[in-house]
Amino acid sequence: MKRLLIFLYGIASYAVFLATFLYAIGFIGNLWVPKSMDSVRDAPLANALLVDLGLLTLFALQHSVMARPAFKRWWTRLIPHAAERSTYVLFSSLALIALFSFWQPLGGVVWEVASPLARGALHAAYAFGWGLVLVATFLINHFDLFGLRQVWLQLLGKPYTPLKFATPAPYRIVRHPLYVGWLIVFWATPVMTVTHLFFALVTTAYILVAIQFEERDLVAAHPEYENYRRRVPMLIPRLKRRQPDRRIAVGG
């Protein structure tokens, strides 16, 4: 019964994530949802700014602290190991739901693209960013990333085996295609409002900081990651292939 309950918990956590993911597409893109990023402001600017900063900070702290190995070791004394990732996914989703619910638009337009062709290109880039995020999760095992593999293995009574280090497709071009997708999502908009610019700047800063902690953990877990980090750029692909070092040492 315990195994079944943990499995159902994992499925429920994933369902909450999936609904949150779909809502995020509409929230950031101002599409289809009842309350989006650029809804009408109903609070003083200073208050709205503080609320939004608090919501983004809450998400950043939850997302980073719960991902650290030291926290996981402590956390799994309280909850089953198989449910750890599902719990992380659930808490991340709840932090996003809080952001969607209490977000305060700031108002104002920084720039607006008028050309229909350019607007179409930005909408296409927005869709591409979401597609890249989704594809990147499947390339590194979507079901492990969101806790489904863990709860399924425990349901079958099989031990969990960590994923081996691999660099499929876009991971050979940049080390973090998942984050590249997020950055495209955050910045690809034909109308850059003050609200959207604030959101994009804060989330970009968070990603750049989070990568440093994530890569430190990856080096500790996978010693081969250090060599991979030297060979492959972090977020921006190299325009030219790296040439072998042909310098000749000259003795004196």
The candidate with the shortest Cα–Cα distance to 193, out of 12, 28, 13, is 28
The candidate with the shortest Cα–Cα distance to 146, out of 43, 18, 35, is 18
Q: What was the pLDDT predicted at 244?
A: 42
**Mean pLDDT over residues 90-107, rounded?**
95
Instruction: Note whether 67 and 214 are within 8 A (CB).
Output: yes
Instruction: Note whether 149 and 11 are within 8 A (CB).
Output: no
The candidate with the shortest Cα–Cα distance to 16, out of 99, 101, 86, is 86
pTM of the complete model: 0.90
- 148-187 per-position pLDDT tens digit: 999 999 999 999 998 888 888 899 999 999 999 999 999 9
